[in-house]
Amino acid sequence: MPHANFPTMTTIWTSWLDLLLVFVPATIVLEVLHADPLLIFASASLAIIPLAGMLGRATEHLSAHVGAGIGGLLNASLGNAAELIIALAALREGLHDVVKASLTGSILGNILLVLGASMIAGGMKFERQKFNQTAAGMGASLLLLAAVGLIIPALFHVTASDRGAAVEREVSLEISIVLFMIYILNLIFSLKTHRHVFAGDTHLDEAAWSRKLAISVLTCVTILIAVMSEILVGVLEPAAERLGMTQVFVGVILVALVGNAAEHSTAVMVAMKNKMDLALGIAVGSSLQIALLIAPILVFASYLFGSPLDLIFTPFEVAAITVSVLIVGFVSMDGESHWMEGVMLVGVYTMLAIAFYFLPA
């Protein structure tokens, strides 16, 4: 009998997406052979999808040991590990447009595509699904605040561009500090002073992994995601040229879809089990962490790389995020969801994706 602390095929490989793990060694081989960049890009993207899903499952099992509040934080944090690793790799290569586009894409992908797909999947099985209206309202308010944090640098760039790039970077840095502090205070609010409002269900339908197994899987998968992300970013520019796509479209849509794989699979699964509170928490919580934590971390890290990153997004990106946040606020304000609301969210995401595709470089 296998030792309980070590991974086995039956305890870890539980999703059909795990079949895509074959692309992990395939990507490494293609990279060593210096194969076609488009082929390497496709293989690395397919490899990250099951790894992100496994990352999500490991954090879910770990949260069964550490409690609902801390577990939810771990789930959001490690669920966004793929996005952070990909963005850091792109940042080190100086691909600032791709970094900012991936942030935009992650926010849009989570609150429109992930949440919309969850509402559709859950709505097909249940006529109406209820969720905590207070928690949803708090999430929507924080999303709007995050959108304001992205709008201000863009407005400053338009109205005071004569102040120079150095001043614009300083504004972005100080706004990042404010966003980071709000995230910390939000943790205190949700994990301490009002934890009863955000208490989540950490019950698993199957036997939980041991703490040691969950941590081991997390460590191994994070390393593999880092390797795959490094390879992915290395071929991003030539692959985008071959596909006839701009770097913004690749960052907003393709890279974000790959990075959001864990949220997609987990949120849809729990919504089909009528756990809409958890699905909403995954989608909105991940977007909040991208805007309030990941974006500031990337700005701070850019100074270590010697190439400061600003938060000046394109007008279309700012408009897309603002409109999406407002729509999600309206959809979640009644504390109920059905499949048609999911169709509306996915529809908005599809229209934005079409516009981003035709957006000039």
φ/ψ region of 34 (left if φ > 0, alpha if ψ in -120 to 50, else beta) reads: left
Tell me: pLDDT of 5 over 50.
no
Residues 6 or more apart in contact with residue 331 via CB below 8 angstroms: 337, 341, 344, 345
Residue 299 is predicted with a pLDDT of 92
Tell me: pLDDT of 4 over 60.
no
pLDDT tens digits for range 245-265: 877 787 788 777 776 666 677
pLDDT tens digits for range 186-195: 888 877 776 6
At 3, phi and psi to the nearest 5?
-65, 140
Give mean pLDDT, residues 20-28. 92
Give mean pLDDT, residues 62-69. 63
Residues 6 or more apart in contact with residue 305 via CB below 8 angstroms: 91, 92
Residue of 226 and 152 predicted with greater confidence:
152
pLDDT tens digits for range 333-355: 888 888 899 999 999 999 999 99
Work out the pLDDT band at 361, boundaries 50, 70, 90: low
Tell me: pLDDT of 239 over 90.
no
Residues 6 or more apart in contact with residue 130 via CB below 8 angstroms: 276, 335, 336
N- to C-terminal Cα separation, the chain: 57
Work out the pLDDT band at 39, boundaries 50, 70, 90: very high
CATH no. of 9-358: 1.20.1420.30
Residue 259 is predicted with a pLDDT of 66
